[in-house]
Amino acid sequence: MPSTVTESLIFRDMFGTPAMRAVFADEALVRRYLDVEVALAEAEAATMIIPAEAAAAIAEAARTMRIDFDRLRHETEITGYPILPIVHQLSEAAGTAGGYVHWGATTQDIMDTATVLQVRAALDLVSVDLVELRDILAQLALRHRDTPMAGRTHLQQALPITFGYKVAVWLSMIQRHIERLDQMRPRVLLGQFAGAAGTLASLGADGLKVQAALCALLGLARPSATWHVARDGLAEAVSFLGPVTGSLAKIATDVMLMMATEFGEVAEPFVKGRGASSTMPQKRNPISSELMLAAAKAVRQHVALMLDGMVQDLERATGPWHAEWIAIPESFILTAGALAQAKFMLGGLIVDAERMRDNLALSGGLIVAEAVMMAAAPKLGRQRAHDVVYDACRSAVTEKRHLADILIEVPEIVEALGGADAIRHHCDPANYLGLAPQMVDHMLAQLPGRPGAR
């Protein structure tokens, strides 16, 4: 029975997705090992290192053989690595051509290249999810471009914003992650074939030709130098997932706070029973947001593990390499799960614009004290306007009255603003949104396929 949340029959689709689990499943991993061994044989046949018939026989054996996983597990426990056991089974299946399997390679060549093939498939899935999430956020930002709400700093109401502006901030992070993913692919998707100590000594003068042919067959870039102990590429891939899930956790935190009863400004999509309490029938907990936050915390630990794993000894490492076997699959699965939760939650997010406006009114106009101050400053001077409005704010708090009512009783402000109606205008939060709507427009214009896009 599975014992981790990413494989659990109960939890696995809360913390991952079937598509991403399939990328890192044992069967898929073994298939990647075989793909690399076959590509190696074909590359060596193309460079006349081994007979073409042998390469064809190895490819056919890899296609038709049935892996004995019990034997593979047992031999891997003895050897410490799965490649020699795989080579045993592939060589037996290939018959007389079996002697050419794994020619000139070392275990890490096969494992590293297979890992990169997995990472490529995983990044493709992440890329699709990020683009879909970007589109969801773009629609949400546009829909609520002009929906006023309280902007909060230090958990206190600060100035009015629009909900579309808040979403545009979320959207900007996702768009940058899409750009980062595309930029890092050439650095991460490198083949590995260098032999025992990384010098390709076993193949003599033909080693680099085989390396180039192998990478070409697998659609991977050829490395500038052996990366057996230069783990920055894979570390970058997992480190990339840290900011992705970190951004999702920021979004989740905002949603959880805004779902609090005292705020009530948004709610996760309604599904009967979702987020329910076993004892409190009224509860509707932010389940997707909670799962996104949990995944981000776990991925963050794996980022640290990958960075620590970069400290490798000499030309072939000891334990640091093994740590990648833990961190890479789990990080991608958890990220896929968090992205799936984000798409579900934000795609059906319930926005209560009326409650947002009600919350804007909670301070009795204090949230737009800056608006009054800046409007009065041309007549009174900034500092005098600040002092007068500051005193009025204190009176409004003490007397529990609306700021506009206090200011109307201050002749200096009435004269500076031009009357009571002007004071009430400046004390309406909806009239002090700054450039929030225009910032939404600017963010949306950056997206591909939109007017003004880069």
- Catalytic residue numbers read 154, 277
C-alpha dist (Å) from residue 19 to 10, 22, 125, 197, 326: 17, 5, 8, 36, 19
Per-residue DSSP letter, 223: P
Identify the bridge partners of residue 267 per DSSP, sorted by sequence position. Answer: 350
With beta carbons less than 8 A apart as the criterion, state whether 389 and 376 touch.
yes
CB atoms within 10 A of CB 324: 22
Residues in the chain: 454
Identify the bridge partners of residue 149 per DSSP, sorted by sequence position. Answer: 161
Rounded CA-CA distance 132/148 in Å is 26
And the tokens for 415?
């004269």
Helix, strand counts (H, E) of the chain: 19, 4
Rounded CA-CA distance 446/401 in Å is 44
Phi, psi (degrees; rounded to nearest 5) at 348: -120, 20
Phi, psi (degrees; rounded to nearest 5) at 379: -90, -40
And the tokens for 402?
């609306």
199: closest CA among 227, 230, 226?
226
**Helix H segments across 273-368?**
287-309, 319-347, 353-360
321: closest CA among 436, 230, 251, 210?
230
